[in-house]
Structure 1
Amino acid sequence: MNHSIESPKPSDYLELVAVWEASVRATHHFLKEEDILYFKPLILNTYLEAVKLRCIRIENRIVGFMGVADHNLEMLFIHPDFIGQGVGKQLLQYSINHLKVQKVDVNEQNKQAVGFYLHCGFQVVSRSELDATGKPYPILHMELKS
């Protein structure tokens, strides 16, 4: 099922953060509560402004969104009620076709996301022991196969 992809407005940011939090709680079981509380204001106040955002709404509700910068998929989060329904795949295909995404960094412990990106044609090219904030969550650096 294809839904229209749109650019959210700053007035949508609280809803995006709610989708982010619901998605993270459903998929990032390795994160501690204090990590979620640490990242939440960063998402709202810093990260959303640093990327080209696109989202999908169903019945006027944002159900998934992504952020892209420099051909990197920096974020892709789907509300847990819509995981497995093609929303993530549609956003990813849009990012590749329209925003020229070539790379994505994924938490190694998020096996569902790693499998999703492998299935969609990405391959692991390197690994970092720490995430970008220096926390001990290994990151897989993936690139789209040519």
Structure 2
Amino acid sequence: MIQRLKSTDYPELYRLQQQAYRVEAELIGAALFPPLLQTEAALREEHPSGYIIRLDGRLVGAVTVDGETITRLLVSPDYFRQGIATQLLRYACEQQLLRFVSTAALNKPAMALYQKIGFQSIRQVKQDSIVLVTLECGDVPGK
């Protein structure tokens, strides 16, 4: 069941972020991956909002948003390829207008997922050794 992210979820969100972003860093071959440098204190200060999925009481997926932008989409590596990210994205897009997201160009699974939902690449920028793609959703699912 999808629920709103609460500040009491932040410690679990931080652990999930570390697990998921380690996998992404390996996938894209990034020795230095900025999201992995964020501390739990910095995450708390950010005070992210969004939605989470719990299975058997465990936080296994989360999407955070800021305005019309998806700021993170995380799934526990133990639950990859089970539709959790798709559920979260669809739900979040039904709840509010979400138009933008950025991900590494080499993160093919994320790129495919965002494109399946209706996002299209609008620009690429290189940050350090990572090429980031910004995607925009013109067709908002569920609206």
TM-score by length of 2: 0.84
- For structure 1, list consecutive stretches of 5 or more residues without a partner in the other structure: none
The alignment-based identity, stated in percent, is: 24
Report the Cα distance in structure 2 between the residues aligned to 1:107 and 1:54, rounded to whole angstroms: 22
Q: CA deviation at 1:126?
A: 0.8
TM-score by length of 1: 0.83
Q: Answer 1 or 2: which has greater strand percent.
A: 2
Matched to 1:54, the amino acid is: Y
Report the Cα distance in structure 2 between the residues aligned to 1:42 and 1:108, rounded to whole angstroms: 29
- For structure 2, list consecutive stretches of 5 or more residues without a partner in the other structure: none
Matched ranges for 1:1-146 at <5 A: 4-29=1-26, 30-32=29-31, 35=34, 37-41=36-40, 44-47=43-46, 49=47, 51-130=48-127, 135-146=128-139
More deviation, 63-72/114-123: 114-123
4+ residue segments displaced more than 6 Å:
none
Rate the CA distance shift 1:80–1:37 in 2: closer, same or farther, 3 A: closer
